[in-house]
Every structure is written in structure tokens, then in C-alpha cells.
Chain A
Amino acid sequence: MNSFIELAGKLDWSPLWISLKTGVVATIISFFLGLWAARKVIKKDYRAKSILDGLLTLPMVLPPTVAGFFLLLIFSRRRAFGIFLDKTFDIQVVHTWLGCIIAATVIAFPLMYRNARAAFEQIDANLVYAGRTLGMSEISIFWRIVVPTAGPGIASGTILTFARAMGEYGATSMLAGNIPGKTGTVSQRIAMVIQDGDYVTAGFWVIIVLLIAFFAVFLINLITGRHMKNIRKW
């Protein structure tokens, strides 16, 4: 116990902030992108739906290293798109925090998308029709009727997305690398210190990750709990 407290004092806390920041930003991006994609996909006919759905889910099914490989292909500064980003906008992705965000977003996005889609599909279409006949705009119907009614499903999608984004390892290590203070996330730090045989530091980080994960789930359940009054138990 004493060694833990001693450790906390001289510990480099940067992985925690990098992971949290990455998780939050990736979750925000995935949230809006996921809702948008889910809304688009459910309006497609069966064939287009299955193709789009497959593409959007792919990053979740692929090994993260494979996703990382593709991301490297796209963003490498030795390739067309990477050169274009660098020269035109002065944006570098490889070995930067932006790389962390992109990797985490790509891997975690399907969780948001799939949960949102499942929740949208459960919605009584009459609610949307009612909104239309009452003269509500499509945007207003979406944000005031569809999203709140799909609330529990969207909330669980958000929780999972955040958890996945925060813990991302494979694609992140390939695209962003493990640069201390810059791209060194908690997951990468744990892997690194274990390689060095430092199980105490690894254990310390593991406990912190557990606490954050539990707190995040608890928090979102608390927020959405108020709106779950209209859900029947069975």
C-alpha cells in the first residue's frame, strides 16, 4: 500500500490525461457521426443498408492492428493523402495526438453507430409521422423525439464508445506511437512497463483504469436514469 502511495507521488500522470482527452474527443466525434450514419442507414433500402452497415461495422470486427495498417497507409507522410494534409493544412497525423484521436475514433465509432441504429429501429414510426403531421421540422423531430426516445440505447452506445476509445491500443500504437507526454496513453504505458517487468506500476494503472471505467458507466446510467421512467420492466 505504502509503495503505491509513494509511486503516485513521483508518477508521470501524462498517460491518464492523454487517454482521457482522447476518449472524450473520440466519443464526441463518434457520437455525432454515429447518430448521423445511423439515421442515414435506416432510411436506405435493404441492399444498400447491408452494404453500408458492413462497411461501417468493419473497424470493430477487424483486428485493431489491421485497422492501424490501413490508417498508416492513408495518413503516412510519404503517401499522397498524408503529403497533401501536411503541405496544404500543415496537419500531421502519424506520431501525433491527432493520430490517437483518429485511431480511437475509427475503432470505437461502430459501437456508437450500431447501438444508435438498433435504438432507432425500435422506435415507433408513428412518433415520427405524428411529428410530421404536427408540422415539426425533420431536425426538430430527430433531436426532440427520436434521440430522447432512443435515449437508453444511445446512452449505452456512448458508454461503450468511451470505454473502447479510452482503452484503444492496437491501432493507436501503430498510427500515433507511444511518445511519452504526447501520444503515450494508459494502455500503451501498461504494456510498456510490463515489458520492463514493473508490475507495481502496471497494477497501479490498471486500478485507475478500472475506477474510471466504472465511474463512467455509473455516471451515464445516472444521467439517463431519469429518462428511463417510461421503460417497462419485464
Chain B
Amino acid sequence: MSRLYADIHRKIGNFDLNVLIESDARRIGILGASGSGKSMTLRSIAGIEDVDSGHIEVNDRVLFDSDTRVNLKPQKRNVGYMFQNYALFPTMSVLKNVMAGLRGHSEENRSKAMDMLRRFRMDGFEDRLPGELSGGQQQRVALARIMVTEPALILLDEPFSALDGYLRDRMQVEMLEMLEDYPGQVVMVSHSRDELYRFSEELFVVRKGSILRQGETKSVFRDPVRIEVAKLTGCKNFSDIRSIDDHTIEAVEWGITLRLEKEIPEWVRHIGYRAHYFEPVWGERQENCIRFNLARVDDLPFEKNYYITPEHNEQAQGGTDAFKANADETLLCWFVQGEEQRFVEKRGLPDYLKLKEESILLLE
């Protein structure tokens, strides 16, 4: 059974990193904006970043422990690390790069490296220099170079950020395939929710050096609990709430009252609603509906983004200055695609947008 335990504390200037990553999931994701400390966490596990205090353990092998003063060199940690820019050695051929982690240039090592290159469909490129490869090929070589050393843990630092569009999508699929028969755990750090949603079984959300939320990836997206987590998982619409009774709240910024079947816990301070989940309603007003004015429409290749301002009931006529000044803040996003997009385009803008109870995110 693979298990990663990393309790890491580090202070640099006024940045504080205090994270605890404990997981036995095969694919672990760390989601965070840039500067959140997610890469630093990864580097600490690999031993290429200093740690002030804590405890790092991979499959019951202690790599770092500040109490007993264990601090294995990165060379001794047996942790594979894939860098954002792949860090292939520019003066070495592809084959030499893959052999770099093996001791000596024996025939055995050579055939081991060649086997790995074949597995990643990079045979025929063994004499090339890294600079002569495409981004996707460089990534495959970087992974081959790691895999050939049979690491106990693999760390991927923003692996797709150096690739663009088409290649990025393809490499995400390919990466999962390439890692398929790797028995150990893989940790991937990214700012992209899509990448991590696809990749990880367990997800850790990091912000300003602390972990905001952890859990099974899909449940973190379904129930982010915290507003920052909801934002990082891609939620676009938020409102403060005022509690009216156990089942009723007022969404202050949206100017509507929402009635839910389920009881609303007392800790709820905000609600969030994902842009794709609104239901257009024509004609009669239903429960939990927003009446709105259209502010802007953006046409994207495969979807249409409507930016709307909610029409406040009491301010519908005229509107106060305060509300006007606030208009940008309360711009709601409604994104439609596919069948729904065609339907809306045919039928014209709906009179209301309905919030479905199961899609309303209750947030702290």
C-alpha cells in the first residue's frame, strides 16, 4: 500500500507554508493559484527546497523529520520530479538523458533506457538533443528519464503549462496512459481545475501556504465548503446571504430570496452558483428565479457567455446610485453550450434564470 505523509512548515520572509498532505490515493492533486505554495510543497517533498520543521514519509520510509534530524539528500529520496520546463539536460542526447539517473554506461543500463524510450514511443529519437524535440516529446523523455529510475513517488509540477492548446489536451490523456502501470503514487500540482479533475482521485486545495480543503476530487468540486475553494474550482457567481428561516435565505447581491427543501446549516455565509448550471425559464416566474438585464454577450467557439445584472426587486425602477456603482461586482455569469445554446438562440433570451437547489453551493 502506498502512502504519502508530508507535514511541512517553512517561513520565508512573510510567506508561511504550513501544509499537511496525507493520502493513500494513487493520484493526488494539489490545486492552487500561482504563489500559493503548491510548487514549494512539491519541492520540499523532493528535498530540493529546505524545510524548517515537519515530517515527510513515503511508503513508511522517513525522508525528513525535524525532531530526529533526518533529512535525506534528494539523491537518496528516490522521488521522481518532473519540472515545469522538463529540465532535460540540453547537451546530452535523449538516450543519455534517460540514462543519467542510472549508474554507469553499461550495456544493461543502455537497454533499460532504450526499453523505456520504446515504451514512450520515443525510439528513433535517442540520438537527438532535447532542443530538437517538440514540447510533447520533451515531456515523454522527461517522464521516461524519471520512470527508468523506478521512483517510490512521482511528482509532477505543472506538467502541461509549457504546452499549448491541442497538445496540452492530448498530453493530459497520454500522461494518464503512460502512468497507468506505474504502481506508486503520483502527485500533480496545477492551477488548472480541468487538469486536476481529470487526473486526481484525491484533491488538496492550497491558498497562501495553507490547505483550505481536501477530499475526494469530485466531492471537493461538488461541495467546496469555502468560497476560495469554490473560486479555484471554477465557480463564478457568489453572493452574501441573509438567513430568513431554516429553509429560506436572501442572496443579498442578487436581490432574490431562495427557498430550499433541505435545512440550511447555520454556518453558511455565502452561496455560490456555477455559470453552466442556470436553467432558463420563459413565461411564468417560478421559485428561486432571477430576473435580469443583459450586460454583455461573449461568443466563444463552443459556448456563449452571458453576463447579466440581476434586477433587484425593490430597485427595479430607477435604481439607487449605490446599486449602479456596484453593478460590476454583481455581474453574473451564465454560460450555455451545446443543445441548450441552440435552444436559447432560437427561442430568445429567457425571462428568468432558475437556480436548481442541488447546484447551489453553500459556503462558509
Using a CB–CB cutoff of 8 Å, the interface residues on chain A facing chain B are 124, 126-127, 129-137, 144-145, 148-149, 151, 227, 229-230
Q: Which of B82-90, B298-306, B350-358 contacts A (4 or more CB under 8 A)?
A: B82-90
Given contacts A126-B83, A126-B87, A132-B75, 4 further A-B contacts (CB under 8 A): A132-B48, A133-B77, A133-B81, A229-B129
Is the pair A145, B129 in contact by a Cβ cutoff of 8 Å? no
Is B336's beta carbon under 8 Å from chain A? Answer: no
* Chain A residues within an 8 Å CB radius of B146: 134
Contact among A124, A132, A133, A227 for B85, CB-based, below 8 A: A124
* Chain A residues within an 8 Å CB radius of B81: 129-130, 133
* Chain B residues within an 8 Å CB radius of A134: 80, 100-101, 145-146, 149
Would A148 and B91 be within 8 Å (CB), given that A133-B81, A135-B75 are in contact? Answer: yes
Q: List 25 A-B contacts (CB under 8 A).
A: A126-B87, A127-B89, A129-B74, A129-B87, A130-B87, A131-B100, A133-B47, A133-B74, A133-B80, A133-B81, A134-B100, A134-B145, A134-B149, A135-B149, A136-B101, A145-B89, A145-B91, A145-B100, A148-B91, A149-B91, A227-B91, A229-B131, A230-B90, A230-B130, A230-B131
Contact among B74, B80, B83, B129 for A230, CB-based, below 8 A: B129
Using a CB–CB cutoff of 8 Å, the interface residues on chain B facing chain A are 43, 46-48, 73-81, 83-85, 87-92, 100-101, 129-131, 145-146, 149
Is the pair A129, B48 in contact by a Cβ cutoff of 8 Å? yes
Is the pair B87, A127 in contact by a Cβ cutoff of 8 Å? yes
Closest chain B residue, CB of each to CB of A133: B81
Q: How many whole Å from B79's CB to the nearest CB in chain A? A: 6
Please report the C-alpha to C-alpha distance between residue A145 and residue B145 in the assembled complex, in whole angstroms.
Answer: 15
Contact among B78, B83, B92, B149 for A129, CB-based, below 8 A: B83
Is the pair B46, A151 in contact by a Cβ cutoff of 8 Å? no
Please report the C-alpha to C-alpha distance between residue A149 and residue B97 in the assembled complex, in whole angstroms.
Answer: 13
